Amino acid sequence: MIWVEFSIVSLLVIVFGYLLSDRADTLAEALNIGKGLIGFILLGFATSIPELVSTISSTVLLDNPLLGSGNIIGSNNANLFILFASLLFTASLRKKGNHLDDESLVSVSFCFSSTSIFTAAVLFSGRPSVFGFSVYSYLIAAVFFLSIFELHKASKANTEKKEKENLSRGFYAVLIFYLAVLVASSYYLSVVVDKISRVTSFGATASGALFLAWSTSLPELAVTVSSIIIGSSEMGIGNILGSNIFNMFVLAVAEISSRSSISVFSNDSSLVVFSLMQLILLSLLLLSLSQNRLAKVWKISVLPLFSIVFYLGGMAFAL
């Protein structure tokens, strides 16, 4: 019965996550925002709502911080897997004229920074503390806000000016409805996965990194694949990396909100492996962005394929 619940709630997250992302994309088009910024802020944050609700509820309401940590780092790795899978048949990640995509480079840089801070936090068990909270939470929050500022600058420099469009009240009403359903289903999803971690041999971290992480990454899957298919790789990259940086910010908020004796930055071996995996995957993405054209074997891009194999091997080792 628990697996039926898991399947039904996951389906709700997929459907309403996609619908909400579609509305966010329309809103971004009306506001005349650059594609990378659309993906990073509007699509990235919108598709991260499941991670937000699931992580906060796991940490604060269910008193299971490791489930929340596993969800965030596992979801971030799953997001990168989704991105690389979407890029398997892409020839190049550069814009026309062989210019590097500045927005994607900014996104990768800040995502790498937040993941590095998280890795250090786990290795040192969240110490030292400032005002009763881990100093790493403050650093992650600083990276989050700075990334938005820098990405806005990069987007503004590359976006053509045009008149903004007005949207109806009905549009915003439907947007709020999709948001409410997604929040409710995401919270219940964390409750179901918490049950799974208690009745199976999987621990809280592994359950979060496997079941909860992949379930809450389903909206990113729908949005990113769609972006790559229509030829907007920068939007797909922005969606994934914006989601990942926002997820880290969520973890910092969860650490500050939690009253549990267990820290979200506990020195858990699985968290260390997952965070190191993410740093390597981000390095591979940066290498992919630096290439004029991605090398191919039988029409399949080599770097994305290697990244996928690395992810699967890392997950098998960690679990």
Quick one: which H or E segment has residue 130? strand 129-130
> Domain range for residue 188?
2-318
Q: What's the CA gap between 158 and 97, in Å, rounded?
A: 14
DSSP-derived pairing of the beta strands 133-134 and 129-130:
antiparallel
pLDDT of amino acid 319? 62
Mean pLDDT of 242-251: 86
Tokens of 111: 């995502």
Q: Do the beta carbons of residue 308 and residue 84 sit within 8 Å?
A: yes
Task: Write down the pTM of the prediction.
Answer: 0.78
pLDDT of amino acid 198? 66
Going by the DSSP 8-state scheme, the letter that residue 166 receives in this structure is P
What torsion, rounded to 10 degrees, do the Cα atoms 289, 47, 64, 7 define? Answer: -110
Q: Do the beta carbons of residue 67 and residue 205 sit within 8 Å?
A: yes
**b/e map 88-124, b = 16+ CB within 10 Å:** bebebbbeeeeeebbbbbbbbebbbbbbbbbbebbee
Does residue 200 carry a pLDDT above 80? no
Residue carrying the six token digits 């999803």: 189
Does residue 279 carry a pLDDT above 90? yes
Instruction: Report which listed range, 33-37, 86-90, 224-228, is most confident.
Output: 86-90
Number of domains in the chain: 1
pLDDT tens, 287-303?
887 777 777 878 788 88
pLDDT of amino acid 205? 56
Q: What's the CA gap between 271 and 211, in Å, rounded?
A: 15
Q: Residue 297 forms beta bridges with which residues? A: 300
pLDDT of amino acid 97? 53
Q: What's the CA gap between 44 and 314, in Å, rounded?
A: 25
Higher pLDDT, 213 or 15: 15
How many residues are listed for the chain in this entry? Answer: 319
pLDDT tens, 159-173?
555 556 667 778 888
pLDDT of amino acid 309? 92
Going by the DSSP 8-state scheme, the letter that residue 190 receives in this structure is H
Going by the DSSP 8-state scheme, the letter that residue 165 receives in this structure is P
Does residue 305 carry a pLDDT above 80? yes
pLDDT tens, 84-124?
887 787 766 656 555 556 677 888 889 999 999 999 988 88
Q: Do the beta carbons of residue 39 and residue 237 sit within 8 Å?
A: yes
CATH number for the domain spanning 260: value is 1.20.1420.30
Instruction: Report which listed range, 14-28, 107-121, 196-210, is most confident.
Output: 107-121
pLDDT tens, 249-278?
888 888 877 766 677 787 777 788 888 999
Q: Do the beta carbons of residue 178 and residue 16 sit within 8 Å?
A: yes
Q: What share of the chain is helix, strand, coil (3-state, %, to 5)?
A: 75, 5, 20
Tokens of 67: 């489930």
